[in-house]
């Protein structure tokens, strides 16, 4: 019989009852360590001990949290191994057989995968984080760190912004980028010309300051104002400021459709001349007519890597970008092919979730007649333009240089009557589980360990996120525990806010934030429900 936990035996009152409770909990822990006691997903929150033979943290140092019996995917791409994970404070202190360790709380992960928390490489959570600090939409899909400040937009003073985030607390770790567009605007206003030498030097100084403030790179939005006015020379010069710290040039391309090939060449050249790591944001060939060039783009990136360039691309696993996910059907019918138009909302019909092509087949009529029927019922029917090939998504995920992004915010869940509840893109709630469910389990595009590597160890390496992205002794305890047989994104264009299946526990900096599949809620000083807000503002090199 293991010794009862110290914190219980120390109590002088109710000693007998406490000893009995401790013995019962210890017995439960023995069963749990064999996967027979607590059901997967259940936890004990009382002091307890493990049982059996073991090594690692040792009996002397009591752990704050012990995850027992799971299959650990360590984030390096290696296959899963059976191991326990011991956490003290915000760090992983032991990985292995920890059955002799004492812990204040035990999570039984029998039958489940224990992986590093996911890193969302292209996130817009900074857009709403000050009003929505808990970031549940990220945490519920297993994301524990997000790279924000994308597409050229970022606060001009990253140090001050970081202090604002930290002061009110944030649910998820945020790693900040400097934003080229924001910097250009602050120096050159709305000018559409090339910068003068003093203007360029002023912009360079701002990038240098952002790097000193811990920026992980520089984002550019070359399709947007004012990024579209930037010359290659300007971008090479500014990106060059990232080279000493190993910062990443995160590029939203000048074009994702008919001029995609040239747009990729442009950023490959800029990054090569600046000598910096390149990440192409949300890589896609938009529009059916452009789908055939996509394999060639992937081959071109492979060739750049073989020639010694460090290049990556992030991918989201959905067939529509944000800008085609809430179209008026009445307008979209002239622009998109019937097989590419998915009905998102059509009041008075049950067509939502089907393509116009499918509806026409069901009605035994033409696509245009089917659209007329839908619009007769609901003139404001909403459609989604499926302009990204799922086969291209799979082809990209199969390449070694791709990582995962949501390209979206960690929204709160909007009430059913709130118009936003129907305009959210499902990627905000389902990106990472969709990769693991749809592309790993169903399509078998990539192995589970490779997919987890793309979500953890690989993005941590590319961005230089220190001590995260791995389940290793000494790393921060950012972890996700999930059921590989159940994990799936449930959010769709019709029901975009559904939380994913299969994410059972999420831990940020040693703090449980999702437990048994549900958010961990506490009351703040005013009695309002709030999350643990265990996230941190990360600074590169620290």
**Smallest gap from residue 408 Cβ to Zn ion (A):** 10
Residues sharing a CB contact under 8 Å with residue 234, sequence separation 6 or more, in sequence order = 194, 195, 200, 203
Query: Rounded to whole angstroms, how far apart are CA atoms 231 and 254?
Result: 11
Ranked by CB distance to Zn ion, the top (closest) residue is 252
SS3 state at 170: strand
Contact segment (CB under 5 A) with Zn ion among 52-60, 125-133, 208-216, 250-258 equals: 250-258
Q: Establish whether the linkage from the previous residue to 226 is cis, with ω within 30° of 0.
A: yes
**Smallest gap from residue 404 Cβ to Zn ion (A):** 15
408 is a site residue for Zn ion (CB under 5 A) = no
Pick 37 or 227: Cβ nearer Zn ion: 227
Nearest to 124 by CA among 151, 102, 105: 151
Element (H, E) at 116: strand 113-116
Pick 108 or 402: Cβ nearer Zn ion: 402
Pick 252 or 333: Cβ nearer Zn ion: 252
Query: Rounded to whole angstroms, how far apart are CA atoms 97 and 84?
Result: 6
256 is a site residue for Zn ion (CB under 5 A) = no
Query: Rounded to whole angstroms, how far apart are CA atoms 49 and 30?
Result: 9
**Smallest gap from residue 253 Cβ to Zn ion (A):** 9
**Smallest gap from residue 224 Cβ to Zn ion (A):** 8
**Smallest gap from residue 425 Cβ to Zn ion (A):** 13
Give the per-residue contact string, 23-42, with Zn ion (x = CB under 5 A; - = no).
--------------------
252 is a site residue for Zn ion (CB under 5 A) = yes
Contact segment (CB under 5 A) with Zn ion among 32-40, 144-152, 312-320, 517-525 equals: 144-152
Helix, strand, coil shares of the chain, percent, nearest 5, are 35, 20, 45
Torsion from C-alpha of 474, 478, 481, 486, nearest 10 degrees? -140
SS3 state at 448: helix
Contact segment (CB under 5 A) with Zn ion among 127-135, 150-158, 176-184, 344-352 equals: 150-158
Task: Take residue 80 and report the two structure tokens written for it.
Answer: 């899963």
Query: Rounded to whole angstroms, how far apart are CA atoms 304 and 296?
Result: 12
Element (H, E) at 108: strand 106-108
Contact segment (CB under 5 A) with Zn ion among 8-16, 135-143, 146-154, 180-188 equals: 146-154
Query: Rounded to whole angstroms, how far apart are CA atoms 132 and 139?
Result: 13
**Smallest gap from residue 363 Cβ to Zn ion (A):** 38
Pick 51 or 253: Cβ nearer Zn ion: 253
Neighbours of 362 (CB within 10 A): 11
Pick 151 or 449: Cβ nearer Zn ion: 151
Pick 151 or 501: Cβ nearer Zn ion: 151
**Smallest gap from residue 255 Cβ to Zn ion (A):** 12
CB 144 within 8 A of CB 103: no
124 is a site residue for Zn ion (CB under 5 A) = no
**Smallest gap from residue 42 Cβ to Zn ion (A):** 41
**Smallest gap from residue 345 Cβ to Zn ion (A):** 25
Give the chain's end-to-end CA distance (angstroms, integer): 44
Task: Take residue 63 and report the two structure tokens written for it.
Answer: 């752990």
Q: Which segments within 207-253 are labelled E, that is strand?
A: 217-221, 248-252
CB 100 within 8 A of CB 54: yes
- Measure CA 534 to chain center: 16
**Smallest gap from residue 388 Cβ to Zn ion (A):** 14
Contact segment (CB under 5 A) with Zn ion among 137-145, 248-256, 326-334, 389-397 equals: 248-256
Give the per-residue contact string, 267-306, with Zn ion (x = CB under 5 A; - = no).
--------------x-------------------------
Contact segment (CB under 5 A) with Zn ion among 18-26, 247-255, 375-383, 506-514 equals: 247-255
Pick 301 or 534: Cβ nearer Zn ion: 301
Pick from 62, 134, 146, 151 the residue near Zn ion by CB under 5 A.
151
For 64, how many CA atoms within 13 A lie in the half-sphere containing its CB? 13
**Smallest gap from residue 278 Cβ to Zn ion (A):** 15
Task: Take residue 218 and report the two structure tokens written for it.
Answer: 């520089």
- List residues near Zn ion by CB under 5 A: 151, 252, 281
């Amino acid at each position: 019989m293991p010794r009862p936990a110290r914190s219980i035996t120390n109590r002088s009152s109710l000693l007998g009852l406490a000893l009995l409770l401790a013995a019962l909990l210890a017995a439960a822990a023995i069963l749990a360590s064999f996967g027979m006691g607590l059901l997967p997903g259940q936890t004990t929150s009382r002091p307890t001990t493990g049982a059996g033979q073991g090594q690692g943290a040792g009996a002397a140092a009591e752990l704050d949290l012990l995850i027992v019996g799971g299959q650990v995917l360590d984030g390096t791409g290696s296959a899963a191994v059976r191991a326990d994970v011991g956490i003290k404070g915000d760090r992983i202190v032991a990985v292995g057989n920890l059955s002799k360790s004492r812990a204040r709380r035990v999570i039984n992960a029998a039958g489940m995968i224990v992986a590093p928390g996911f890193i969302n490489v292209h996130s817009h959570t900074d857009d709403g984080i000050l009003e929505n600090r808990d970031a549940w939409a990220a945490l519920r899909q297993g994301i524990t760190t997000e790279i924000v400040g994308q597409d050229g937009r970022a606060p001009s003073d990253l140090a001050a912004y970081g202090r604002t985030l930290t002061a009110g607390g944030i649910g998820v770790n945020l790693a900040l980028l400097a934003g080229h567009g924001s910097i250009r605007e602050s120096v050159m206003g709305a000018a559409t010309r090339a910068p003068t030498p003093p203007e360029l030097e002023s912009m360079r100084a701002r990038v240098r300051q952002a790097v000193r403030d811990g920026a992980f790179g520089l984002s550019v939005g070359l399709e947007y104002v004012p990024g579209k006015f930037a010359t290659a020379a300007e971008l090479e010069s500014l990106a060059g400021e990232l080279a000493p710290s190993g910062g990443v040039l995160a590029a939203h391309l000048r074009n994702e459709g008919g001029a995609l090939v040239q747009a990729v060449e442009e950023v490959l050249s800029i990054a090569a001349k600046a000598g910096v790591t390149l990440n192409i944001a949300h890589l896609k060939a938009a529009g059916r007519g452009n789908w055939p060039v996509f394999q060639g783009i992937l081959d071109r990136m492979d060739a750049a890597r073989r020639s010694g360039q460090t290049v990556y691309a992030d991918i989201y696993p959905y067939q529509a970008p944000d800008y085609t996910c809430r179209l008026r059907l009445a307008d979209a019918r002239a622009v998109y092919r019937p097989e590419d138009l998915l009905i998102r909302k059509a009041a008075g019909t049950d067509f939502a979730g089907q393509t116009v092509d499918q509806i026409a087949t069901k009605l035994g009529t033409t696509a245009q007649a089917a659209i007329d029927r839908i619009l007769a019922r609901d003139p404001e029917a909403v459609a989604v333009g499926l302009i990204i090939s799922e086969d291209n998504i799979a082809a990209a995920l199969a390449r070694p240089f791709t990582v995962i992004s949501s390209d979206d915010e960690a929204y709160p869940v909007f009430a059913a009557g709130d118009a936003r509840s129907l305009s959210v893109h499902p990627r905000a709630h389902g990106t990472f589980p969709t990769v693991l469910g749809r592309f790993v389990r169903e399509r078998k595009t990539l192995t589970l360990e490779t997919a987890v590597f793309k979500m953890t160890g690989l993005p941590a390496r590319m961005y230089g996120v220190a001590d995260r992205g791995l389940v290793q002794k000494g790393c921060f305890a950012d972890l996700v525990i999930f059921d590989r047989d159940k994990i799936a994104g449930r959010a769709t264009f019709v029901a975009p806010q559904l939380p994913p299946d299969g994410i059972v526990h999420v831990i940020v900096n040693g703090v449980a934030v999702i437990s048994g599949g549900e958010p961990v809620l506490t009351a703040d000083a005013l009695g309002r429900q709030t999350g643990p807000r265990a996230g941190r503002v990360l600074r590169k090199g620290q």
